[in-house]
Amino acid sequence: MIKYQQDKNKLVTMAIDQKDALFTLVKSLSKSEKRQFKLYVGRLGGNVNANFISLFNLLDKVSAYDDELILKKTNIKKQQISNTKAHLYRQILVSLRFNPVHQNVKTQIREQFDFASILYNKGLYKQSLKILDKAKDLALNSGENNLAYEIVEFEKVIESQYITRSMSNRADELAEQAKELSLKNVRISKLSNLSLQLYSLMLKAGYVKDTQDSKLLTDYFEKRLPKYKGYELSFKEKLFLYKAYLWHSLIKQDFVSSYKYAQKWVDLFEENPEMKKQNPVFYLKGVNYLAESLYLIKYRKKFKKVLDNLDYDIKNENIVLNENTKTLAFLYFNQHKLNLYFLEGNFTKGLEFVKKLLEEIKRYEEHIDAHHIMVFYYKIGCMYFGAGKNEQCIYYLEKIINNKDLKMREDLLCFSRVLNLVTHYEAGIDANIEKLIVSTYKFLLKMNDLHDVQRKMISFLKNLSNIYPQDLKKEFIKLHSELKKYENHPFERRAFLYLDILSWLESKIQNVSVESIIQGKAKKLLK
Protein backbone atom coordinates (compact mmCIF):
# COMPACT_ATOMS: atom_id res chain seq x y z
CA MET A 1 0.00 0.00 0.00
CA ILE A 2 1.26 3.45 -0.86
CA LYS A 3 2.09 5.51 2.20
CA TYR A 4 0.99 9.02 1.48
CA GLN A 5 3.22 10.86 3.89
CA GLN A 6 4.92 14.10 3.05
CA ASP A 7 8.69 14.31 3.44
CA LYS A 8 9.15 10.55 3.71
CA ASN A 9 9.70 9.87 0.06
CA LYS A 10 13.19 10.84 -0.96
CA LEU A 11 13.96 10.86 -4.65
CA VAL A 12 17.23 9.37 -5.82
CA THR A 13 18.92 11.20 -8.68
CA MET A 14 21.95 10.31 -10.70
CA ALA A 15 25.08 11.00 -8.70
CA ILE A 16 26.99 13.27 -11.05
CA ASP A 17 28.11 15.26 -7.99
CA GLN A 18 31.02 12.88 -7.72
CA LYS A 19 32.55 14.76 -10.63
CA ASP A 20 34.15 18.13 -10.08
CA ALA A 21 31.49 20.84 -10.53
CA LEU A 22 33.80 23.24 -12.38
CA PHE A 23 35.04 20.53 -14.73
CA THR A 24 31.46 19.46 -15.49
CA LEU A 25 30.47 23.08 -16.20
CA VAL A 26 33.42 23.64 -18.58
CA LYS A 27 32.64 20.43 -20.47
CA SER A 28 29.00 21.47 -20.86
CA LEU A 29 29.92 24.65 -22.77
CA SER A 30 29.25 24.85 -26.49
CA LYS A 31 31.82 26.25 -28.93
CA SER A 32 29.99 29.59 -29.08
CA GLU A 33 29.80 29.76 -25.27
CA LYS A 34 33.54 29.09 -24.97
CA ARG A 35 34.24 31.77 -27.57
CA GLN A 36 32.03 34.26 -25.75
CA PHE A 37 33.73 33.47 -22.43
CA LYS A 38 37.17 34.17 -23.88
CA LEU A 39 35.93 37.44 -25.39
CA TYR A 40 34.35 38.38 -22.07
CA VAL A 41 37.47 37.76 -19.94
CA GLY A 42 39.76 39.19 -22.61
CA ARG A 43 38.06 42.59 -22.56
CA LEU A 44 40.88 43.69 -20.26
CA GLY A 45 44.39 42.86 -21.34
CA GLY A 46 45.43 41.96 -17.82
CA ASN A 47 43.24 38.84 -17.83
CA VAL A 48 45.07 37.13 -20.69
CA ASN A 49 47.64 35.44 -18.49
CA ALA A 50 45.49 35.21 -15.39
CA ASN A 51 45.53 31.92 -13.49
CA PHE A 52 41.84 31.28 -14.02
CA ILE A 53 42.29 31.57 -17.82
CA SER A 54 45.11 29.04 -17.71
CA LEU A 55 42.87 26.76 -15.65
CA PHE A 56 40.01 27.14 -18.15
CA ASN A 57 42.24 26.31 -21.13
CA LEU A 58 43.58 23.22 -19.35
CA LEU A 59 40.14 21.90 -18.29
CA ASP A 60 38.84 22.48 -21.81
CA LYS A 61 41.52 20.13 -23.21
CA VAL A 62 41.65 17.27 -20.65
CA SER A 63 39.22 14.36 -20.38
CA ALA A 64 39.25 14.08 -16.58
CA TYR A 65 39.80 16.40 -13.63
CA ASP A 66 43.19 16.07 -11.88
CA ASP A 67 44.65 18.44 -9.25
CA GLU A 68 48.17 17.16 -9.90
CA LEU A 69 47.88 18.00 -13.59
CA ILE A 70 46.80 21.55 -12.72
CA LEU A 71 49.90 22.03 -10.56
CA LYS A 72 52.09 20.62 -13.31
CA LYS A 73 50.62 22.47 -16.34
CA THR A 74 49.81 25.90 -14.83
CA ASN A 75 51.40 28.44 -12.49
CA ILE A 76 48.68 27.85 -9.92
CA LYS A 77 50.00 26.86 -6.49
CA LYS A 78 48.34 24.17 -4.40
CA GLN A 79 46.91 26.66 -1.91
CA GLN A 80 45.49 28.73 -4.81
CA ILE A 81 43.54 25.95 -6.52
CA SER A 82 40.33 26.32 -4.52
CA ASN A 83 40.04 30.11 -4.93
CA THR A 84 41.02 29.99 -8.61
CA LYS A 85 38.38 27.37 -9.31
CA ALA A 86 35.72 29.39 -7.50
CA HIS A 87 36.67 32.53 -9.44
CA LEU A 88 36.62 30.72 -12.78
CA TYR A 89 33.25 29.13 -11.97
CA ARG A 90 31.73 32.55 -11.25
CA GLN A 91 33.25 34.16 -14.35
CA ILE A 92 31.82 31.43 -16.57
CA LEU A 93 28.35 31.94 -15.08
CA VAL A 94 28.60 35.72 -15.56
CA SER A 95 29.59 35.28 -19.22
CA LEU A 96 26.72 32.82 -19.76
CA ARG A 97 24.31 35.35 -18.29
CA PHE A 98 25.19 37.74 -21.12
CA ASN A 99 24.58 35.06 -23.76
CA PRO A 100 21.33 35.71 -25.69
CA VAL A 101 20.57 31.97 -25.56
CA HIS A 102 20.18 32.21 -21.80
CA GLN A 103 18.19 35.43 -21.84
CA ASN A 104 14.51 35.10 -21.06
CA VAL A 105 11.67 37.16 -19.61
CA LYS A 106 12.74 36.43 -16.04
CA THR A 107 16.31 37.65 -16.61
CA GLN A 108 14.99 40.75 -18.35
CA ILE A 109 12.68 41.56 -15.43
CA ARG A 110 15.42 40.93 -12.86
CA GLU A 111 17.82 43.12 -14.83
CA GLN A 112 15.29 45.97 -14.82
CA PHE A 113 14.71 45.43 -11.11
CA ASP A 114 18.48 45.72 -10.49
CA PHE A 115 18.60 48.95 -12.55
CA ALA A 116 15.71 50.37 -10.54
CA SER A 117 17.48 49.42 -7.30
CA ILE A 118 20.64 51.27 -8.38
CA LEU A 119 18.63 54.39 -9.28
CA TYR A 120 16.79 54.21 -5.95
CA ASN A 121 20.07 54.04 -4.03
CA LYS A 122 21.18 57.16 -5.91
CA GLY A 123 18.02 58.96 -4.83
CA LEU A 124 16.60 59.05 -8.37
CA TYR A 125 13.14 57.92 -7.28
CA LYS A 126 11.19 59.04 -10.33
CA GLN A 127 13.49 57.19 -12.73
CA SER A 128 13.42 54.12 -10.53
CA LEU A 129 9.60 54.06 -10.42
CA LYS A 130 9.40 54.46 -14.20
CA ILE A 131 11.59 51.40 -14.79
CA LEU A 132 9.69 49.39 -12.15
CA ASP A 133 6.35 50.22 -13.79
CA LYS A 134 7.54 48.81 -17.14
CA ALA A 135 9.08 45.76 -15.47
CA LYS A 136 5.84 45.11 -13.57
CA ASP A 137 3.77 45.21 -16.78
CA LEU A 138 6.17 42.72 -18.36
CA ALA A 139 5.98 40.45 -15.31
CA LEU A 140 2.15 40.53 -15.19
CA ASN A 141 1.81 39.89 -18.94
CA SER A 142 4.26 36.98 -18.68
CA GLY A 143 2.57 35.35 -15.70
CA GLU A 144 5.59 36.00 -13.47
CA ASN A 145 3.52 36.89 -10.42
CA ASN A 146 6.32 36.31 -7.90
CA LEU A 147 8.48 38.91 -9.62
CA ALA A 148 5.50 41.25 -9.99
CA TYR A 149 4.89 40.98 -6.24
CA GLU A 150 8.56 41.84 -5.51
CA ILE A 151 8.25 44.89 -7.77
CA VAL A 152 5.06 46.08 -6.05
CA GLU A 153 6.70 45.73 -2.64
CA PHE A 154 9.64 47.81 -3.90
CA GLU A 155 7.24 50.42 -5.33
CA LYS A 156 5.64 50.70 -1.89
CA VAL A 157 9.05 51.41 -0.33
CA ILE A 158 9.87 54.11 -2.89
CA GLU A 159 6.41 55.70 -2.80
CA SER A 160 6.71 56.05 0.95
CA GLN A 161 9.76 58.28 0.36
CA TYR A 162 8.91 59.99 -2.92
CA ILE A 163 6.12 62.16 -1.61
CA THR A 164 5.88 64.50 -4.59
CA ARG A 165 4.69 61.81 -7.01
CA SER A 166 2.28 60.09 -4.73
CA MET A 167 -1.41 60.43 -5.40
CA SER A 168 -4.05 60.20 -2.70
CA ASN A 169 -5.07 56.69 -3.78
CA ARG A 170 -1.60 55.43 -4.79
CA ALA A 171 -0.98 53.65 -1.48
CA ASP A 172 -4.38 51.91 -1.65
CA GLU A 173 -3.74 50.84 -5.25
CA LEU A 174 -0.39 49.27 -4.41
CA ALA A 175 -1.76 47.61 -1.25
CA GLU A 176 -4.66 46.07 -3.21
CA GLN A 177 -2.32 44.92 -5.99
CA ALA A 178 0.07 43.36 -3.46
CA LYS A 179 -2.86 41.55 -1.77
CA GLU A 180 -4.14 40.16 -5.10
CA LEU A 181 -0.69 39.01 -6.20
CA SER A 182 -0.01 37.45 -2.80
CA LEU A 183 -3.22 35.37 -3.01
CA LYS A 184 -2.31 34.22 -6.53
CA ASN A 185 1.22 33.29 -5.47
CA VAL A 186 -0.05 31.30 -2.49
CA ARG A 187 -2.48 29.43 -4.75
CA ILE A 188 0.22 28.74 -7.36
CA SER A 189 2.55 27.51 -4.61
CA LYS A 190 -0.10 25.15 -3.21
CA LEU A 191 -0.94 23.78 -6.66
CA SER A 192 2.69 23.33 -7.69
CA ASN A 193 3.44 21.64 -4.33
CA LEU A 194 0.51 19.28 -4.82
CA SER A 195 1.55 18.28 -8.36
CA LEU A 196 5.14 17.72 -7.19
CA GLN A 197 4.02 15.61 -4.21
CA LEU A 198 1.84 13.47 -6.47
CA TYR A 199 4.72 13.05 -8.91
CA SER A 200 6.92 11.92 -6.00
CA LEU A 201 4.30 9.33 -5.02
CA MET A 202 4.17 8.02 -8.58
CA LEU A 203 7.96 7.65 -8.70
CA LYS A 204 7.99 5.90 -5.34
CA ALA A 205 5.15 3.42 -5.72
CA GLY A 206 3.55 3.73 -9.13
CA TYR A 207 -0.20 3.21 -9.53
CA VAL A 208 -2.69 2.66 -6.71
CA LYS A 209 -3.04 -1.02 -5.85
CA ASP A 210 -6.44 -1.33 -4.15
CA THR A 211 -9.54 0.53 -2.97
CA GLN A 212 -7.87 1.68 0.23
CA ASP A 213 -4.94 3.08 -1.75
CA SER A 214 -7.35 4.91 -4.04
CA LYS A 215 -9.24 6.44 -1.11
CA LEU A 216 -6.00 7.54 0.59
CA LEU A 217 -4.87 9.18 -2.65
CA THR A 218 -8.17 11.04 -3.16
CA ASP A 219 -8.22 12.22 0.47
CA TYR A 220 -4.61 13.36 0.13
CA PHE A 221 -5.45 15.21 -3.09
CA GLU A 222 -8.65 16.91 -1.91
CA LYS A 223 -7.11 17.99 1.40
CA ARG A 224 -4.30 19.85 -0.39
CA LEU A 225 -6.27 21.24 -3.35
CA PRO A 226 -6.78 24.99 -2.76
CA LYS A 227 -10.20 26.58 -3.29
CA TYR A 228 -10.55 28.53 -6.51
CA LYS A 229 -12.94 30.07 -9.01
CA GLY A 230 -12.17 29.29 -12.64
CA TYR A 231 -12.43 32.87 -13.89
CA GLU A 232 -9.87 34.02 -11.28
CA LEU A 233 -7.09 31.73 -12.45
CA SER A 234 -4.02 33.01 -14.26
CA PHE A 235 -2.04 31.03 -16.84
CA LYS A 236 0.28 29.47 -14.25
CA GLU A 237 -2.56 28.70 -11.85
CA LYS A 238 -4.38 26.80 -14.62
CA LEU A 239 -1.12 25.08 -15.59
CA PHE A 240 -0.47 23.71 -12.11
CA LEU A 241 -4.14 22.88 -11.59
CA TYR A 242 -4.22 20.70 -14.73
CA LYS A 243 -0.88 19.20 -13.71
CA ALA A 244 -2.20 18.21 -10.27
CA TYR A 245 -5.39 16.68 -11.71
CA LEU A 246 -3.32 14.85 -14.32
CA TRP A 247 -1.11 13.17 -11.72
CA HIS A 248 -4.13 12.31 -9.58
CA SER A 249 -5.84 10.58 -12.52
CA LEU A 250 -2.64 8.84 -13.68
CA ILE A 251 -1.95 7.31 -10.28
CA LYS A 252 -5.59 6.18 -10.06
CA GLN A 253 -5.23 4.58 -13.50
CA ASP A 254 -8.03 6.77 -14.84
CA PHE A 255 -6.24 7.25 -18.15
CA VAL A 256 -9.18 8.86 -19.94
CA SER A 257 -9.14 11.64 -17.33
CA SER A 258 -5.36 11.96 -17.56
CA TYR A 259 -5.78 12.41 -21.34
CA LYS A 260 -8.42 15.10 -20.67
CA TYR A 261 -6.15 17.12 -18.36
CA ALA A 262 -3.04 16.62 -20.48
CA GLN A 263 -4.98 17.98 -23.47
CA LYS A 264 -6.13 20.97 -21.38
CA TRP A 265 -2.47 21.53 -20.45
CA VAL A 266 -1.29 21.55 -24.08
CA ASP A 267 -4.31 23.62 -25.23
CA LEU A 268 -3.38 26.24 -22.65
CA PHE A 269 -0.08 26.76 -24.48
CA GLU A 270 -1.74 26.68 -27.89
CA GLU A 271 -4.06 29.47 -26.73
CA ASN A 272 -1.07 31.41 -25.37
CA PRO A 273 1.69 30.74 -27.97
CA GLU A 274 4.08 33.28 -26.44
CA MET A 275 4.21 31.06 -23.36
CA LYS A 276 5.79 28.25 -25.44
CA LYS A 277 8.95 30.31 -25.71
CA GLN A 278 8.81 31.60 -22.16
CA ASN A 279 8.09 28.20 -20.58
CA PRO A 280 9.45 25.55 -22.98
CA VAL A 281 9.98 23.00 -20.19
CA PHE A 282 6.34 23.09 -19.10
CA TYR A 283 5.20 22.85 -22.72
CA LEU A 284 7.40 19.81 -23.37
CA LYS A 285 6.15 18.13 -20.19
CA GLY A 286 2.54 18.73 -21.24
CA VAL A 287 3.15 17.14 -24.66
CA ASN A 288 4.90 14.23 -22.94
CA TYR A 289 1.93 13.51 -20.65
CA LEU A 290 -0.51 13.88 -23.54
CA ALA A 291 1.45 11.28 -25.52
CA GLU A 292 1.71 9.03 -22.44
CA SER A 293 -2.06 9.18 -21.84
CA LEU A 294 -2.83 8.46 -25.50
CA TYR A 295 -0.49 5.47 -25.37
CA LEU A 296 -2.21 4.12 -22.25
CA ILE A 297 -5.68 4.35 -23.83
CA LYS A 298 -4.27 3.02 -27.13
CA TYR A 299 -5.43 6.00 -29.19
CA ARG A 300 -2.87 5.20 -31.87
CA LYS A 301 -3.85 7.74 -34.56
CA LYS A 302 -3.72 10.75 -32.27
CA PHE A 303 -0.64 9.38 -30.48
CA LYS A 304 1.25 9.33 -33.79
CA LYS A 305 0.07 12.85 -34.57
CA VAL A 306 1.32 14.18 -31.21
CA LEU A 307 4.66 12.39 -31.69
CA ASP A 308 5.04 13.78 -35.23
CA ASN A 309 4.26 17.31 -34.00
CA LEU A 310 6.85 16.96 -31.24
CA ASP A 311 9.44 15.78 -33.76
CA TYR A 312 8.60 18.73 -36.03
CA ASP A 313 8.88 21.24 -33.17
CA ILE A 314 12.28 19.85 -32.15
CA LYS A 315 13.73 19.73 -35.67
CA ASN A 316 12.47 23.22 -36.55
CA GLU A 317 13.44 24.65 -33.16
CA ASN A 318 9.91 25.85 -32.48
CA ILE A 319 10.84 25.28 -28.86
CA VAL A 320 13.66 27.22 -27.23
CA LEU A 321 16.48 24.67 -27.22
CA ASN A 322 19.12 24.75 -24.50
CA GLU A 323 20.87 21.89 -22.73
CA ASN A 324 17.90 21.40 -20.43
CA THR A 325 15.20 21.37 -23.11
CA LYS A 326 17.40 19.28 -25.43
CA THR A 327 17.65 16.64 -22.70
CA LEU A 328 13.89 16.67 -22.10
CA ALA A 329 13.17 16.53 -25.84
CA PHE A 330 15.54 13.54 -26.11
CA LEU A 331 13.83 11.76 -23.21
CA TYR A 332 10.26 12.34 -24.30
CA PHE A 333 10.63 11.75 -28.02
CA ASN A 334 12.60 8.52 -27.62
CA GLN A 335 10.41 7.09 -24.86
CA HIS A 336 7.35 7.62 -27.04
CA LYS A 337 9.11 6.35 -30.14
CA LEU A 338 9.60 3.10 -28.20
CA ASN A 339 5.93 3.20 -27.18
CA LEU A 340 4.90 3.52 -30.84
CA TYR A 341 6.79 0.33 -31.68
CA PHE A 342 4.95 -1.37 -28.78
CA LEU A 343 1.54 -0.08 -29.93
CA GLU A 344 2.12 -1.40 -33.44
CA GLY A 345 3.90 -4.57 -32.39
CA ASN A 346 6.95 -3.75 -34.55
CA PHE A 347 9.53 -5.20 -32.15
CA THR A 348 12.01 -6.53 -34.71
CA LYS A 349 11.95 -3.22 -36.56
CA GLY A 350 12.32 -1.45 -33.23
CA LEU A 351 15.64 -3.18 -32.49
CA GLU A 352 17.36 -1.04 -35.13
CA PHE A 353 16.07 2.03 -33.35
CA VAL A 354 17.24 0.59 -30.00
CA LYS A 355 20.84 0.32 -31.24
CA LYS A 356 20.90 4.02 -32.12
CA LEU A 357 19.12 4.91 -28.89
CA LEU A 358 21.71 3.16 -26.70
CA GLU A 359 24.44 5.28 -28.28
CA GLU A 360 22.41 8.43 -27.66
CA ILE A 361 21.82 7.46 -24.02
CA LYS A 362 25.60 7.41 -23.50
CA ARG A 363 25.77 11.01 -24.74
CA TYR A 364 23.04 12.17 -22.37
CA GLU A 365 23.70 9.93 -19.35
CA GLU A 366 25.16 12.75 -17.25
CA HIS A 367 22.02 14.81 -17.82
CA ILE A 368 19.50 12.02 -17.19
CA ASP A 369 18.65 10.69 -13.74
CA ALA A 370 19.02 6.98 -12.93
CA HIS A 371 15.28 6.40 -12.88
CA HIS A 372 14.77 7.50 -16.50
CA ILE A 373 17.72 5.39 -17.66
CA MET A 374 16.17 2.34 -15.94
CA VAL A 375 12.83 3.07 -17.66
CA PHE A 376 14.70 3.04 -20.97
CA TYR A 377 16.32 -0.29 -20.04
CA TYR A 378 12.94 -1.80 -19.14
CA LYS A 379 11.40 -0.69 -22.43
CA ILE A 380 14.47 -1.93 -24.34
CA GLY A 381 14.17 -5.26 -22.50
CA CYS A 382 10.51 -5.47 -23.53
CA MET A 383 11.50 -4.72 -27.13
CA TYR A 384 13.93 -7.65 -27.15
CA PHE A 385 11.31 -9.89 -25.51
CA GLY A 386 8.73 -8.97 -28.14
CA ALA A 387 11.26 -9.72 -30.88
CA GLY A 388 12.03 -13.12 -29.35
CA LYS A 389 15.56 -12.09 -28.26
CA ASN A 390 15.25 -13.45 -24.74
CA GLU A 391 18.88 -13.42 -23.62
CA GLN A 392 19.26 -9.75 -24.60
CA CYS A 393 16.04 -9.04 -22.73
CA ILE A 394 17.45 -10.67 -19.59
CA TYR A 395 20.65 -8.59 -19.94
CA TYR A 396 18.74 -5.30 -19.69
CA LEU A 397 16.35 -6.51 -17.00
CA GLU A 398 19.29 -7.52 -14.83
CA LYS A 399 20.67 -3.98 -15.14
CA ILE A 400 17.52 -2.89 -13.29
CA ILE A 401 17.35 -5.83 -10.86
CA ASN A 402 21.02 -5.49 -9.88
CA ASN A 403 20.83 -1.70 -9.47
CA LYS A 404 21.00 -1.42 -5.68
CA ASP A 405 20.88 2.37 -5.72
CA LEU A 406 17.44 2.57 -7.31
CA LYS A 407 15.11 3.41 -4.43
CA MET A 408 11.99 4.37 -6.36
CA ARG A 409 9.44 3.07 -8.81
CA GLU A 410 8.67 -0.08 -6.89
CA ASP A 411 6.37 -1.17 -9.68
CA LEU A 412 9.20 -0.97 -12.20
CA LEU A 413 11.39 -3.13 -9.94
CA CYS A 414 8.56 -5.65 -9.41
CA PHE A 415 7.58 -6.12 -13.04
CA SER A 416 11.20 -6.31 -14.13
CA ARG A 417 11.44 -9.42 -11.97
CA VAL A 418 8.19 -10.91 -13.29
CA LEU A 419 9.26 -10.38 -16.91
CA ASN A 420 12.70 -11.75 -16.04
CA LEU A 421 11.04 -14.91 -14.77
CA VAL A 422 8.92 -15.29 -17.93
CA THR A 423 11.93 -14.63 -20.16
CA HIS A 424 14.06 -17.26 -18.40
CA TYR A 425 11.31 -19.79 -19.07
CA GLU A 426 10.93 -18.65 -22.69
CA ALA A 427 14.71 -18.85 -23.26
CA GLY A 428 14.88 -22.35 -21.77
CA ILE A 429 17.22 -21.12 -19.04
CA ASP A 430 15.51 -23.13 -16.34
CA ALA A 431 18.38 -24.64 -14.36
CA ASN A 432 17.79 -22.20 -11.49
CA ILE A 433 14.15 -21.39 -12.26
CA GLU A 434 12.95 -22.62 -8.86
CA LYS A 435 15.40 -20.34 -7.07
CA LEU A 436 14.39 -17.43 -9.31
CA ILE A 437 10.68 -18.05 -8.63
CA VAL A 438 11.27 -18.03 -4.85
CA SER A 439 13.37 -14.83 -4.95
CA THR A 440 10.77 -13.08 -7.17
CA TYR A 441 7.96 -14.16 -4.86
CA LYS A 442 9.82 -12.90 -1.78
CA PHE A 443 10.61 -9.57 -3.46
CA LEU A 444 6.95 -8.99 -4.39
CA LEU A 445 5.88 -9.80 -0.84
CA LYS A 446 8.48 -7.41 0.54
CA MET A 447 7.24 -4.65 -1.77
CA ASN A 448 3.63 -5.46 -0.88
CA ASP A 449 3.00 -5.82 -4.58
CA LEU A 450 1.75 -9.39 -4.90
CA HIS A 451 -1.53 -9.15 -6.77
CA ASP A 452 -3.72 -11.81 -8.34
CA VAL A 453 -2.17 -11.45 -11.81
CA GLN A 454 1.35 -11.83 -10.47
CA ARG A 455 0.37 -14.62 -8.06
CA LYS A 456 -1.25 -16.66 -10.82
CA MET A 457 1.74 -16.11 -13.12
CA ILE A 458 4.25 -17.26 -10.53
CA SER A 459 2.08 -20.23 -9.55
CA PHE A 460 1.80 -21.26 -13.20
CA LEU A 461 5.55 -21.04 -13.82
CA LYS A 462 6.24 -22.89 -10.57
CA ASN A 463 4.05 -25.83 -11.67
CA LEU A 464 5.32 -26.01 -15.25
CA SER A 465 7.71 -28.83 -14.42
CA ASN A 466 4.73 -30.98 -13.32
CA ILE A 467 2.75 -30.48 -16.53
CA TYR A 468 2.98 -33.08 -19.28
CA PRO A 469 3.95 -31.62 -22.71
CA GLN A 470 0.65 -32.73 -24.25
CA ASP A 471 -1.25 -30.81 -21.54
CA LEU A 472 0.77 -27.61 -21.82
CA LYS A 473 -1.50 -25.88 -24.35
CA LYS A 474 -4.54 -26.65 -22.19
CA GLU A 475 -2.82 -25.01 -19.17
CA PHE A 476 -1.93 -21.92 -21.22
CA ILE A 477 -5.60 -21.60 -22.24
CA LYS A 478 -6.69 -22.02 -18.62
CA LEU A 479 -4.27 -19.30 -17.38
CA HIS A 480 -5.33 -16.96 -20.22
CA SER A 481 -8.97 -17.37 -19.23
CA GLU A 482 -8.14 -16.63 -15.57
CA LEU A 483 -6.12 -13.51 -16.39
CA LYS A 484 -8.42 -12.14 -19.09
CA LYS A 485 -10.99 -11.08 -16.50
CA TYR A 486 -8.42 -8.75 -14.94
CA GLU A 487 -7.72 -6.88 -18.19
CA ASN A 488 -10.06 -4.00 -17.31
CA HIS A 489 -9.97 -4.39 -13.54
CA PRO A 490 -9.41 -0.94 -11.92
CA PHE A 491 -6.36 -2.13 -9.94
CA GLU A 492 -5.20 -5.40 -11.45
CA ARG A 493 -4.92 -4.04 -15.01
CA ARG A 494 -1.72 -2.20 -14.08
CA ALA A 495 0.08 -5.51 -14.58
CA PHE A 496 -0.73 -5.42 -18.29
CA LEU A 497 0.71 -1.91 -18.65
CA TYR A 498 4.19 -3.24 -17.95
CA LEU A 499 3.99 -6.69 -19.49
CA ASP A 500 1.48 -7.87 -22.09
CA ILE A 501 1.02 -11.29 -20.50
CA LEU A 502 -2.19 -11.98 -22.41
CA SER A 503 -0.51 -11.55 -25.80
CA TRP A 504 2.34 -13.82 -24.66
CA LEU A 505 -0.15 -16.52 -23.62
CA GLU A 506 -2.04 -16.15 -26.91
CA SER A 507 1.24 -16.63 -28.76
CA LYS A 508 1.85 -19.89 -26.86
CA ILE A 509 -1.70 -21.09 -27.49
CA GLN A 510 -1.63 -20.27 -31.22
CA ASN A 511 2.04 -21.27 -31.60
CA VAL A 512 2.98 -17.96 -33.23
CA SER A 513 5.27 -15.10 -32.17
CA VAL A 514 4.26 -12.46 -29.63
CA GLU A 515 5.06 -9.91 -32.32
CA SER A 516 2.47 -11.26 -34.76
CA ILE A 517 -0.19 -11.38 -32.02
CA ILE A 518 0.32 -7.71 -31.06
CA GLN A 519 0.51 -6.65 -34.71
CA GLY A 520 -2.85 -8.30 -35.28
CA LYS A 521 -4.35 -6.40 -32.33
CA ALA A 522 -2.82 -3.13 -33.58
CA LYS A 523 -4.63 -3.46 -36.89
CA LYS A 524 -7.92 -3.59 -35.02
CA LEU A 525 -7.18 -0.27 -33.31
CA LEU A 526 -9.38 1.89 -35.52
CA LYS A 527 -8.67 5.04 -33.54
Write out the CATH class of domain 345-527.
mainly alpha
Distance CA 134, CA 113 (A): 10
CA distances from 450 to 212, 398, 425, 459 (A): 16, 20, 20, 12
Cβ atoms within 10 Å, residue 503: 20
- The verdict on pTM exceeding 0.85 is no
**Domain locations along the chain:** 16-102, 105-166, 345-527
Contacts of 278 (CB under 8 A, 6+ apart): 104, 105, 142, 143
Q: Burial of 80 by CB count in 10 Å (0-12 exposed, 13-18 middle, 19+ buried)?
A: middle
Distance CA 514, CA 505 (A): 8
Q: What share of the chain is helix, strand, coil (3-state, %, to 5)?
A: 75, 0, 25
Distance CA 495, CA 444 (A): 13
**Angle between helix 280-296 and 255-271 (nearest 10):** 150
Is 224 within 8 Å of 194 (Cβ atoms)? yes
Q: Where are the alpha helices (DSSP H) in 98-169?
A: 105-121, 125-141, 145-159
Tell me the pLDDT tens digit for each residue of 475-521.
Answer: 889 888 888 888 888 777 777 776 788 888 888 899 888 888 888 88
**pLDDT tens digits, the chain, 527 residues: what are they?**
344 333 333 332 223 334 688 998 998 888 888 988 988 887 765 555 588 888 999 999 998 898 888 988 888 888 899 999 999 999 999 888 877 666 688 888 998 999 999 998 988 888 999 999 999 999 998 889 999 999 999 998 888 776 545 556 777 888 899 999 999 999 999 999 999 999 888 877 778 888 888 899 999 999 999 988 877 888 999 999 999 999 999 999 899 999 999 999 999 999 988 888 888 999 999 999 999 999 999 898 899 999 999 999 888 888 877 888 899 999 999 999 999 999 899 999 999 999 999 999 988 887 888 888 999 999 999 999 999 999 999 999 999 988 877 665 677 788 888 888 889 888 888 777 788 888 888 887 777 666 788 788 788 877 777 777 778 788 889 888 888 888 888 777 777 776 788 888 888 899 888 888 888 888 776 55
- SS3 of residue 368 by DSSP: coil
Cβ atoms within 10 Å, residue 157: 10
Q: Burial of 232 by CB count in 10 Å (0-12 exposed, 13-18 middle, 19+ buried)?
A: exposed
Q: Indicate the DSSP class of residue 16.
A: G
